[in-house]
A and B are shown apart, each in its own frame.
Chain A
Amino acid sequence: MKQLRLWAVAERSPVYQIAFACSAIVISVALRHYLHSALPPGFPYVTFFPAIILTGYFAGTKAGIAVAAVCGLASWYWFLAPENSFAISPQIILTLVFYLFISGTELVLLHAMRNALITLEDEKNRSNTLAQANKTMFHELQHRVSNNLQVVASLLKMQRRNVVDESARAALDAASARLQVVASIQRQLHNPKRQTTDMGQMMRELLPEVVSSSSQSERFTLDFDIEPVVVTGDQATPLALIIVELVSNAVEHAARDVGKTHLLLTMRSRGNEAIVIVQDDGNGLPPDFVPEKSRSLGLRVALQFTEQLAGRLVFETINGTRVTLTIPLDSDSR
């Protein structure tokens, strides 16, 4: 079908058009002669109409007109009584007018169809070119952003190598980790194949790296109980950063003195709300813990982003520490 369409819109050389038209005339006239004795009276144009249609389609309107004219004369001379003459009678005139009307209608329709197909093909090519340009531009942008983020990441790493103070090293590690999170989100969010983001899947890919980059990683096991939570691009970055901060915070503070601490991330999408629970089985929160008064940068980031998302962040001591984040989902993501 696609090949048929391409044949119809292909540019044909004059030689091709003449050759196609001549072949169509010879074959249709010869076939009409061959069938003459077998056909009942009243079918003078039976082989000529297909010849006109095929020529109009495959060789263009001009070639189709030429075939219609020559075949009209041929049928008048050989196949309209009296045969072998160009005799004129009211009946012959009526037959010729009928032939002109039918072949003219065929050619007009074919011409319109060919023009529509050519326009369609042009539009399609233009769309493909635009899509390709868009893709190239996206890749270029993606590379530039990634390169710039890499420069910052490299700077932080090199700075870290020259720092001996453990708290300074930890701060640079945390900054590097946050940068990785932002970069990972940026890469996933700006993937042209993706309109929305399944935060559950993203966290599965991201959090093992966050935990393993910590010096405490040996003391933790990380598990997931995740259902797909689909969010929009606007929600994805703050939500991802909140979850990363909560998990980083747990890794920093929840480690038990003996044995491994178990971290569990639960994600659910309920109606128009997303629920995220970060649970650890560590020592629990200090008795006087008030999140808003915490000096932890990570916690402040989490609280600010929760406010931005119009959500709620609840800290509880239940079998360790449980932090529950509830945010409304944008209608676009549902």
Chain B
Amino acid sequence: MPKTILVQDPDVLISLDLAQTVMEAWPDASVILCRDVPQILAVLTNGQRPDLLILNQSLRSVRGYGLTSLVRHSRAKMLLTGADDDDAAEIAALGWHALDMPFSAAQVRHALHDACPDPEVRRENRCNAIGFG
């Protein structure tokens, strides 16, 4: 089943790069790009159910915006690219993942595989369904 991935980063370049890396890993995936947390909240409260959220946020801000309960409710996975080193254990305890910036494409692919194990990962990119949240 095609995945829906939400990518949030205030920097357009970073989010486009992440989106492309996601599409290389899952060619059929739909990617929703968000600039900030209000856009994420709008996406989540509008009934969209991403399988994975890649957010440039710290654990504290994720909690502060009340994203934790929303994400847990939808059983989505989370990959934080803006997490503090000190929060690594807590992030792991929540079943989420973290990625230090700057990350290589290989590191992102590895983190995607960890977050959403998928035996049918393909290298060929056949889809460009990138939408803005």
B-binding residues in A (CB < 8 A): 139, 143, 146-147, 149-155, 157-158, 161, 176-177, 179-180, 183, 187, 191, 209, 212-213
Contact B13 A158 (CB under 8 A): yes
Question: Using Cβ atoms and an 8 Å threshold, which residues of chain B touch A177?
Answer: 104
Given contacts A143-B82, A161-B20, contact A154 B104 (CB under 8 A): no
Distance of B42 from chain A, by nearest CB (Å): 24
Distance of B57 from chain A, by nearest CB (Å): 11
| Neighbour of A151 across the interface among B14, B81, B100, B105, CB < 8 A | B14
| Chain B residue, CB-CB nearest to A179 | B102
A-binding residues in B (CB < 8 A): 11, 13-14, 16-18, 20-21, 56, 81-82, 84-85, 100-107
Contact B20 A150 (CB under 8 A): no
Contact B105 A157 (CB under 8 A): yes
Given contacts A143-B82, A155-B13, A158-B17, contact A150 B102 (CB under 8 A): yes
Distance of B112 from chain A, by nearest CB (Å): 15
Question: Using Cβ atoms and an 8 Å threshold, which residues of chain B touch A191?
Answer: 85
Given contacts A158-B13, A161-B20, contact A146 B101 (CB under 8 A): yes
How far is it, in angstroms, between the C-alpha of A238 and the C-alpha of B20 when the chains are bound?
Answer: 33
Contact A154 B106 (CB under 8 A): no
Question: Using Cβ atoms and an 8 Å threshold, which residues of chain A touch B14?
Answer: 147, 150-151, 154
Given contacts A143-B82, A147-B11, contact A152 B102 (CB under 8 A): yes
Contact A151 B13 (CB under 8 A): yes
Q: What 6 A-B pairs come out closest when comparing CB atoms?
A: A154-B17, A146-B101, A153-B102, A150-B102, A150-B101, A149-B102
Interface of A is mostly: helix
Given contacts A143-B82, A147-B11, A158-B17, contact A153 B106 (CB under 8 A): no
Given contacts A139-B84, A147-B11, contact A180 B16 (CB under 8 A): no
| Chain A residue, CB-CB nearest to B16 | A158
Contact A176 B13 (CB under 8 A): no
Question: Using Cβ atoms and an 8 Å threshold, which residues of chain A touch B11?
Answer: 147, 150-151, 154
How far is it, in angstroms, between the C-alpha of A154 and the C-alpha of B9 when the chains are bound?
Answer: 12
Give 19 pairs: A residue, B residue, CB < 8 Å, sorted on A.
Answer: A143-B82, A143-B101, A149-B101, A150-B14, A150-B102, A151-B13, A152-B102, A154-B14, A154-B17, A154-B18, A154-B102, A157-B105, A158-B17, A158-B20, A179-B102, A180-B102, A180-B104, A183-B101, A209-B107
How far is it, in angstroms, between the C-alpha of A187 and the C-alpha of B104 when the chains are bound?
Answer: 15
| Chain B residue, CB-CB nearest to A149 | B102
How far is it, in angstroms, between the C-alpha of A180 and the C-alpha of B108 when the chains are bound?
Answer: 13
Distance of B130 from chain A, by nearest CB (Å): 13
Question: Using Cβ atoms and an 8 Å threshold, which residues of chain A touch B82?
Answer: 143
- Which of B82, B84, B105, B107 gathers the greatest number of chain A CB atoms within 10 Å? B105
13 further A-B pairs in the complex, CB-CB below 8 A; given A158-B13, A209-B106:
A143-B101, A146-B100, A146-B101, A149-B101, A149-B102, A151-B11, A152-B102, A153-B17, A154-B14, A154-B102, A157-B104, A180-B104, A183-B101
Contact A154 B84 (CB under 8 A): no
| Chain B residue, CB-CB nearest to A154 | B17
How far is it, in angstroms, between the C-alpha of A154 and the C-alpha of B14 when the chains are bound?
Answer: 6
How far is it, in angstroms, between the C-alpha of A68 and the C-alpha of B107 when the chains are bound?
Answer: 73
Given contacts A151-B11, A154-B13, A161-B20, contact A213 B104 (CB under 8 A): yes
Question: Using Cβ atoms and an 8 Å threshold, which residues of chain A touch B107?
Answer: 209
How far is it, in angstroms, between the C-alpha of A151 and the C-alpha of B13 when the chains are bound?
Answer: 6
Distance of A179 from chain B, by nearest CB (Å): 6
Contact B103 A153 (CB under 8 A): yes
Given contacts A143-B82, A161-B20, contact A209 B13 (CB under 8 A): no
Distance of B90 from chain A, by nearest CB (Å): 15
How far is it, in angstroms, between the C-alpha of A154 and the C-alpha of B102 when the chains are bound?
Answer: 8
Distance of A269 from chain B, by nearest CB (Å): 27
Distance of B110 from chain A, by nearest CB (Å): 10
Distance of A276 from chain B, by nearest CB (Å): 24
- Which of A146, A150, A155, A176 gathers the greatest number of chain B CB atoms within 10 Å? A150
Contact B101 A147 (CB under 8 A): yes
Question: Using Cβ atoms and an 8 Å threshold, which residues of chain A touch B13?
Answer: 151, 154-155, 158
